[in-house]
Amino acid sequence: MTITWAAVTARRMARQHLVAPAPSIDAAVTAMVSAHAQVASAAEIAIGIRTAGTTRADVRAAVASGTLTKTVGLRGTVHLLPTRDLGLWLGALDSLPDTTGLPVAARLEPDQLAAVIEAIGAALDGADLTADELDELVVAATGPWAADPVVPAFGGWWPRWRQAIARAASAGALAYGAGRGPKVTYTRPPAFVVPDDPAVLLLQ
C-alpha cells in the first residue's frame, strides 16, 4: 500500500467534518476528540466550521441544555465534551497518573486529595459556585491546610486545595457552570457511567 501525504490530509479533513458537515454539534465535537474551549470563541468557531448553519448561540445552547459539558479535559485545560461520552472521557482522564510541578511541600497528600474532592462534590451538589465561594466551603469541610496559599497562579497564589480541580473534574465532582458576570462558576456534571476500560476505548 502506498500512502501519500495528500491522502492522509484528505482522510483527516473528511473525518474532521471539514469536507462535509457533521449532522449535529455533539457529533462534530466527538469527531474533534473534544473541543478546546480555554477561549470560548475558539471552540465556537471550531464547531461552527464543522456543522451547517451553527452560530455561537447554538454552541452555548448545547452547553446550557446539557448536550455538551464544559469541564477540565486534555492537558488540564477547558474543553467541551459530548455529554453522552462523559463516562468514557472522565474515566480515561481519571486513569492518568497524577503529575504536578509543585514542590513536594505544596502538594496534597492522597488523603487530603480525597477529602478535597469529596468536599467539592458536596459543595457543588445542586449549586453553581465561584472559586472564592468554594474556597470557604472546601476549607470549612477539610481543614485550614486547604487554605495555604502555595499554588502559584497569575502572579499570585491560590489556596492549596485548588490544585485538585482537574482531578475533581475527572472524578465527576466538578464541571464548569453558567458564568456569573465575569466570574467562572463550577457545578456538578451530569450523571455518567464509566466503561470497564475507558482508556482503551478512547483510543479506538
- Residue 67 — pLDDT band, cuts 50, 70, 90? very high
Residue length, the chain?
Answer: 204
Domain locations in the chain? Answer: 101-197
Backbone conformation region of residue 75, classed left if phi is above 0, alpha if psi is from -120 to 50, else beta? left
Cα–Cα distance measured from residue 139 to residue 159, given in angstroms and rounded to the nearest whole number: 9
Q: Please give the pLDDT value at position 164.
A: 94
What per-residue confidence (pLDDT) applies to 45?
A: 97
Q: Would you give the end-to-end CA distance of the chain in angstroms?
A: 22
Give yes or no for a contact between 95 and 117, defined as CB atoms under 8 angstroms apart.
no
Residue indicated by cell numbers 449549586: 127
What was the pLDDT predicted at 203? 56
pLDDT (tens digit per residue) in 130-166? 999 999 999 999 999 999 999 998 889 999 999 999 9
CB 175 within 8 A of CB 70: yes
Q: Say yes or no to pLDDT of 95 above 90.
A: no
Residue carrying the nine cell digits 451553527: 54
Residue 202, pLDDT above cutoff 60: no
Structure confidence at residue 92 as a pLDDT band (50, 70, 90)? confident
| Residue 136 grid coordinates | 470557604
DSSP letter, residue 106: G
Q: Which residues lie closer than 8 Å to 176 by C-beta, 6 or more apart? A: 70, 71, 78, 184, 185, 186, 187
At 80, the pLDDT band (50, 70, 90 cuts) reads very high
pTM confidence score: 0.88
**pLDDT for position 101:** 83
Specify the pLDDT at position 204: 55
Please give the average per-residue pLDDT across 56-71, as a whole number. Answer: 95
Nearest alpha carbon to residue 67 among 81, 50, 88, 53: 81
- pLDDT-based confidence at residue 76 (cuts at 50, 70, 90): confident
pLDDT band for position 198 (cuts 50, 70, 90)? low
Residue 200's pLDDT is: 60
**Other Cβ atoms closer than 10 A to 116:** 26
